[in-house]
Structures are given as structure tokens and as C-alpha cells.
Structure 1
Amino acid sequence: MNKKKRNVIDKAHELFIIQGYHATSIQDILNHSGISKGSFYNYFTSKGELFKAVFNLIQDNMESERDKLLIGEDLTDKDIFIKQVSFMMELSWKNKIIQLIEDVFASNDPDLITFIKQSKYFYLTWIYERFLNIFPKNQEKYLVDCAVLYTGMMKNMMHTSKALNRIIPVPQMAQYCLDRVMTILDDISRKDIHLFVRENINQLHPQLNYNDFFNNEFSIATLNVKKVMEKQLAPKAPKLTTYLNLLYFIQEEIMNKNEDSKHFLIESALTTLKTGSEFNDTNEFITYEQILANMKYYPIA
């Protein structure tokens, strides 16, 4: 991204946090970022378009840092999920996301309101995808309901604690809500009842790209290869450390979508991994390699 354009986004973000979206004028943004009106309109067609850029940048940074918490960890670990949720909630409060959203609705801008309504379903989808990691396969058809319930619980817990001026640690709320959802999941699984299905998630935002680099399939494949490595190699074997570092390097580079990353570095790391005779002919590694091939990453011949 152009450095000057990024500076305008960052400066507008500062003003939106301090003053709110509605109270911040384009002239305020021009003064704070030090650019001319002509330059501003070269980058953005309106203040609303600038808001979208600010909001998307917040979301991208949040998702990147959230997903870093998974590197080298077990996707089924509920404690890691709680850490991720807590991180997102705390960053949302820091960036006054709720206040910004309320400002947008107060602005009566139809385009921005539609943008916000679509954006909020990405969080619901992420919760659902993580529940697929955490809970057993035989409970899968009940997890859309559980994701809806969890996001609603967390939202209202946060709002109520703020309204009452009660300081409740976010991890405590996240764990409390997860425990309640687990109880509900056992109940609806036993009774075989649910209101929503996976297709409903897709209908909420059909434009969502489920083939994103850091997707569920790639995450699970990475975890499976990690488990095979740990099983086949002695815990303190130098080669295990080397292979795990290479595995984490590939995961982090793909996860971060780093534009400066060199394609050949990922392929070079994959090439070295492929020399691991202890695991390179396992189904787990073959699946992992195929997923990377689908992303256009291949071992160097």
C-alpha cells in the first residue's frame, strides 16, 4: 500500500477513536494527516470509503495476530481458543469498534450500514470454524447454532459489564460463555435439535473466500504433520527441532500473507521438509504437500 495512503488511514483511525466517525470531518483528517484535499480524493471517494479502509485494516491486523496464536499449537485446545477470543475482544475495545459501528448506524449511510452488517458475520463464521476444530465430528451439525449463541452471549456479557461498570476479565467471560455453550451442545445433541445448518453460514456472506491461505484445511494438515513428526522422532532429536521450525515458518509465512515474502523461501523450506524420510511417505505429509500444491507451492526439483 502507498505509504501516504496508509498514513491517511492511520491518522483517520486516530481521529475516529478520539472523536468518533460522525464527529470527524474530512477537513479534520486533512489537518491531522497533512495532505491536501486533492490528494485525499485521489485515495478515497468519500469519508465513508476511508472508514471502510480503516475498519478493514483493523480487522486484518486483528485476524493476523489472532491466528499467530495458533502457530505450533493444537487446534483442538480450548484454552487457545479462549486466548484468541480474549485477544479479539480486548483489541475491539481498544479500537472502540462498537462505538465506531454505532456511529455508522447513526450516520444513516446505507452503503456503510450494509458494509458493517456484512462484516459482523465474518466473526460468527470464524467462531463456527473454530468450533469445528474443537468439538467432535458427530456434533458438527449443531455447531452453527452454538456459534450464534456464543457470539450473542459474548456481545451481551461485554455490553452488560460495561453498563454496570463492572470489571470482569475478558478470558473469564470467554470461558464462562464457552462452558454454557458446551452444556447446550450436549443437550441439543442428545435431543437432535438445531435451527441452522452450515449452508446458512455461506448465505450470510457468499462473497467470503473459503480458500484463503490460512484456512481450516491447511491448519489441520499442518497440525497432523506436526503430530507425525513428534511421533516418529525422539523428543530431543535435533532433526525434530529443525523440521518443526520449518513447518512453523511455512505456516507463519502463508498465514501472514506477507507481500514481501519470497515464494522460493517457502518452497525451499518445503523441499527440506520433504527430505524427512521418517514422515515424508505418510498420508499426513502427502495431504499437506497436496494442499500446498493447490496454493502453488511446490518442492524445488
Structure 2
Amino acid sequence: MNARKRRVIQVALQLFLERGYVQTSIQDIIEHAEISKGTFYNYFSSKDDCLIAIIEIGREQTMVKRNELLLGKQRSDINVLIEQIVVGIQLNYNQSLLPLLENVFQSGNHDLKSAMRNYHLREIKWLATRLVDVYGQQLKPFKYDVTMMLFGSLQSFQKMWRAVTQEPFNVAAALTFLFAQLDRIIPHLDDGFMSKEISSYMVQYIAAEHISKEGILTELQELLPLAQKISKESYELTAFLLEELVKDEPNITIIRAILPSFSGTFATTAYTEEAINITSSLWRYLEEKFN
């Protein structure tokens, strides 16, 4: 995604939050982003498509932050999982995405509801996978049951908290309490309620993302001569990622460790967007292939 398209998305999000999604027209976005109608339709087929892009960017940002929190940590560390859940909620809150997404989900728009459903299903799938990381393979037959228990309890606590106090809701404290209860419950689980049904539902609506390694390699090759103009570090990190990814067995640990530095060396440069796209694609590729 180029910088201009990302700028249009940022303008659209701000307008959606200020005026409401329904009340914001494509013409409003065009005027505030200072682009032509042709440019808008080159990027998006509709206003709905623009909002779906906003949802996808939010998901990618959350995924990158969550993966960075795992660097140098054990996947079985419950405190890391709590941090990962919190950072996802905070990112949505900071960008004011939650109210917007809730309104969209309650609307009758089929495409937007489908995009929101996929967003929620991917969150459920991610958390179920991470719960297995923490509690072990014995949880696998019940992973979606436990995931729904955790999600549902957290949402209920949030709603009740807003009703009874004006104080900020402490997500980490609530999760610490809920996981303490799961610690007591999980060893006694011997049957699931609907993990099989949820798993079948997942297959219908969300498939593996199939991020292409060849596509990432092409992007890195195109970035390499540009990186040389930025700094020695930018060039060396880009070259290293290229060298590792072409191997049959790349060093996943090292790739994960240097990704934050790689994207950081391009921050505030003319190639920030290219580095962000590569970083996001690489995290998704690593998650799909090696977790």
C-alpha cells in the first residue's frame, strides 16, 4: 500500500468518526484527501471497500505489535498473552475503531458485516491458538469453548464496569483474574460444548491467508537499492532478510528479532510505507508457516 492510499484511508477514518459512516460521502473523502474521483476509485471500489481497508490495517497493526511482544519470550508465558490481548484492545481504542466497528456490525450492510465477521473470527482463531500455546495440547479439543468463555467474560466485565464506575477499565487486571479462574477450570475439562462446530464454521468463512514468499522477496529486492540511500543499517537489514528468506530453512528466530529494527530504520523516510508493508507481510507469513 502506497503512502497516498494510506493517507486517503486516514482521512476517511477521521471523517467516519466525526460525521458517522452513513453521513460521510465519497465526495467528502475526495475533497478532504485532495484527490480526484478517479484516484479514489483506483484505490477502492466503494466507500464500503474503503472501510474494509481500514479494518484490515487495524488488524495488521495489532498483529505486528503482538508479534513484537513475543520476541525473546516463551509462547507459553501467560503474561505475554495478557499483554498481547491488551495491546489489541488499546490500539482499537486509541484509533477510536471500536465504536465505528460496533455500528457497522449492527447495520444491514452485507459486505461490511461479512468483513466484521471475518475480523472477529480471526481474533477468535488467534486467541484459541495462543491459549493452546499457554495451556498445552490437552486444551486443543476445547480451545474454542475456552476462548468464548474468556471473550464473553471480558466483554461482560467491561459493560458492567462502564455502568457502575467512571474509572478506566483495567483490562490487564480483569484478564489476570479471568486466567486465574481458567487455571482452575481447564485441568478438569473432559468434554467440549461447541469447539467442533466453531472449527467447522471457521473453515467456511476464513481460510489461510497464503502470503506469498515470492511476493515478499520481490518487494525486498525492489527496496534493497533504495535502502542503500537511507543508511548502512537499512541496507544491511534488507539484504539479510533477502538472504535468509531464499534459504530452504531460514532462521526464523533471527528474522523475527530484526523485524522491528528493519521497519524502524525506514521510519520518517520516503520508503516508510514499503517497509511497513514488508514487515506486515513477513509477520503474517511467519505466523502461517511456522506456528
Separation in structure 2 between the aligned mates of residue 52 and residue 72 of structure 1, nearest angstrom: 33
- Which deviations, in whole Å up to 9, do the C-alpha atoms of 1:98-145 show, x marking residues without a partner? 311232135421111122122211111111000110003333322221
Separation in structure 2 between the aligned mates of residue 65 and residue 202 of structure 1, nearest angstrom: 29
Separation in structure 2 between the aligned mates of residue 128 and residue 105 of structure 1, nearest angstrom: 22
Separation in structure 1 between the aligned mates of residue 65 and residue 59 of structure 2, nearest angstrom: 10
Aligned residue type for 1:54: I
Aligned residue type for 2:178: C
Please state if 1:196 is matched with 2:197.
Answer: no
- Which deviations, in whole Å up to 9, do the C-alpha atoms of 1:23-80 show, x marking residues without a partner? 3222221222111222212221211010001110111111111111001101111011
Q: Secondary structure at the match of 1:69?
A: helix
- Structure 1 residue runs without a partner (length 5+): 214-245, 267-290, 296-301
Match of 2:254 in 1: 249
User: Do the aligned partners of residues 211 and 177 (structure 1) sit closer, same or farther apart at CA in structure 2, a change above 3 Å counting?
Assistant: farther
Separation in structure 2 between the aligned mates of residue 43 and residue 210 of structure 1, nearest angstrom: 21
- How many Å apart are 1:254 and its aligned residue? 7.1
Aligned residue type for 2:143: L
TM-score using structure 2 length: 0.69
Aligned residue type for 1:171: A
- Which deviations, in whole Å up to 9, do the C-alpha atoms of 1:144-182 show, x marking residues without a partner? 210111111122222332343342311111212222233
The answer to whether the 8 Å contact 1:145/1:196 transfers is: yes
Match of 2:176 in 1: 175
Match of 1:102 in 2: 102
Match of 1:141 in 2: 141
Q: Secondary structure at the match of 2:70?
A: coil
Aligned residue type for 1:137: Q
Aligned residue type for 1:249: I
Separation in structure 1 between the aligned mates of residue 140 and residue 194 of structure 2, nearest angstrom: 11
Q: Secondary structure at the match of 1:157?
A: helix
Separation in structure 2 between the aligned mates of residue 4 and residue 247 of structure 1, nearest angstrom: 32
The answer to whether the 8 Å contact 1:30/1:36 transfers is: yes
Match of 1:209 in 2: 208
Alignment of 1:277-292 (within 5 A): none
- How many Å apart are 1:9 and its aligned residue? 0.8
Match of 2:218 in 1: none
Match of 1:240 in 2: none
Separation in structure 1 between the aligned mates of residue 168 and residue 143 of structure 2, nearest angstrom: 30
TM-score using structure 1 length: 0.67
- Which deviations, in whole Å up to 9, do the C-alpha atoms of 1:6-34 show, x marking residues without a partner? 21011112222333323322222122211
- Structure 2 residue runs without a partner (length 5+): 213-250, 264-274
Match of 2:226 in 1: none
Aligned residue type for 1:118: N
Match of 2:159 in 1: 159
Q: Secondary structure at the match of 2:45?
A: coil
Q: Aligned-residue CA RMSD in angstroms?
A: 3.0
Aligned residue type for 2:201: Q
Structure with the higher fraction of residues in helix conformation: 2
**Which stretch shows the higher mean deviation, 129-138 or 71-80?**
129-138
Separation in structure 1 between the aligned mates of residue 30 and residue 277 of structure 2, nearest angstrom: 29
Alignment of 1:50-61 (within 5 A): 50-61=50-61
User: Do the aligned partners of residues 148 and 52 (structure 1) sit closer, same or farther apart at CA in structure 2, a change above 3 Å counting?
Assistant: same
- How many Å apart are 1:247 and its aligned residue? 6.1
Match of 1:10 in 2: 10
Please state if 1:72 is matched with 2:77.
Answer: no
The answer to whether the 8 Å contact 1:22/1:104 transfers is: no
Please state if 1:129 is matched with 2:129.
Answer: yes
User: How many residues in Structure 1 have an aligned counterpart in Structure 2?
Assistant: 231
The answer to whether the 8 Å contact 1:22/1:107 transfers is: no
- Which deviations, in whole Å up to 9, do the C-alpha atoms of 1:198-247 show, x marking residues without a partner? 5732532543317669xxxxxxxxxxxxxxxxxxxxxxxxxxxxxxxx76
Which is greater in Rg? 1
The answer to whether the 8 Å contact 1:66/1:88 transfers is: yes
Separation in structure 2 between the aligned mates of residue 138 and residue 93 of structure 1, nearest angstrom: 34
Please state if 1:81 is matched with 2:86.
Answer: no
Separation in structure 2 between the aligned mates of residue 194 and residue 160 of structure 1, nearest angstrom: 28
Separation in structure 2 between the aligned mates of residue 14 and residue 204 of structure 1, nearest angstrom: 32
Separation in structure 1 between the aligned mates of residue 134 and residue 209 of structure 2, nearest angstrom: 19
User: Do the aligned partners of residues 178 and 196 (structure 1) sit closer, same or farther apart at CA in structure 2, a change above 3 Å counting?
Assistant: same
The answer to whether the 8 Å contact 1:9/1:53 transfers is: yes
